[in-house]
Amino acid sequence: MIITQNATIRLLEEISLNAWPSHKIELYDGWLIRFSHNYTYRTNSVEQIGISSIPVEEKIAYCESAYLNYHTPVNFKINPLIDSAFDHRLSEKGYQIRHVTEVMTMPMSHFHPFPALSSEYEFYGRNSNLPSAIYYPRDIIVQIRDTITDDWIQSLFRLNGTADPVLQRIVPSMFKAIPKETIVACIEIEGRMVASGLGILDRGYVGLYAIYVDASCRQKGFARSICSSILSEAQKKGASKAYLQVVQGNVNAKNLYRSLGFEDFYTYWFRSLEL
C-alpha cells in the first residue's frame, strides 16, 4: 500500500510540473531550480526530482546563491517523498513554512457533477470536439475552448489581482508553454469574464487549475459549474482520475471539491528564507 501511494504521489508531482511550467528552470544534480518572479510558490522553488551526488549543504548553498541573484526568497518544496531530515535541516537554518497546500484526488467513478441543462457545439473543425457552451440552471453559461488565449489570461489577471507589469509580461508565455492538452473554461457577464477554470490532461488524469470567481459573483454556483464542465469533458476524453491543489485553510473551496467527489490525498509545503 505504501509503495503504491508513493508511486502515485511521484506521478502527481511529475504531471503537476508538466501542468505549470516556470519562466526559467535549471536542472542541478537532480534538483529543479524554478524561477518566475514570485508569481507562485510552485514556479519559484527548488524541487527534488532525481538522484543527488553533491553534498546537501553544498547544494543548499548553491540554490541560495541562485535566488540571491534573482533577488527573491529561496523556497524549497517539501512533499511526503522528501526525507524529513531535509525539512528539519532547513528549519534549523531558519527556513519558515509557507503556503501549505493540500492535494486532493478523485476517481471519475466518484464524480458528482452539477447537472447541465444542455450544450452547444460549433462545427468548424476546431475546439477539439468540445462544446462551445454548456448551460446550467440559474442562467449560468460556461464557455469552453481548447486553447489558452491572451484575452483569457488578461481576464484571469483581473480575477486574481495580478497587476505587476513584469508578471503580465512573462506569465502568458508560461501558460502557453503548457505541453499538455487543455480545457479552458470561463463564465462571462455582459462580455466580462467573472469566473475561470483550466483543466490539464496528462496520463489519464485531469488537473484542475486557475479556479477563480469574481468577488461579486460568489455563492452562485459559478465555480461548481466551471469544475463540472471541465471534469465532464475530460472524462469524455478518457480521463479516469482527477487531482487539484488547494491552499490549506480555504474552507469554501474544499467544501466544493468534496461535494464533487474529491478526497484529501497528501500535503506539501514550502520552506522559505529571505536572503
Mean predicted confidence (pLDDT) in 49-61: 95
Domain residue extents for the chain: 2-102, 106-266
Residue 204: pLDDT band (50, 70, 90) is very high
Q: In a 3-state reduction of DSSP, which class is residue 84? A: helix
* Inter-residue contact 131 to 144 (CB < 8 Å): yes
Q: What are the φ and ψ backbone dihedral angles of 241, each rounded to 5 degrees?
A: -145, 160
Mean predicted confidence (pLDDT) in 154-173: 96
CA 153 to CA 175: how far, in whole Å? 8
Whole-model pTM: value is: 0.93
The answer to whether residue 238 scores a pLDDT higher than 60 is: yes
CATH class of 106-266: alpha beta
Mean predicted confidence (pLDDT) in 12-31: 96
CA 246 to CA 253: how far, in whole Å? 7
Find cell 520552506 and name the residue.
Answer: 271
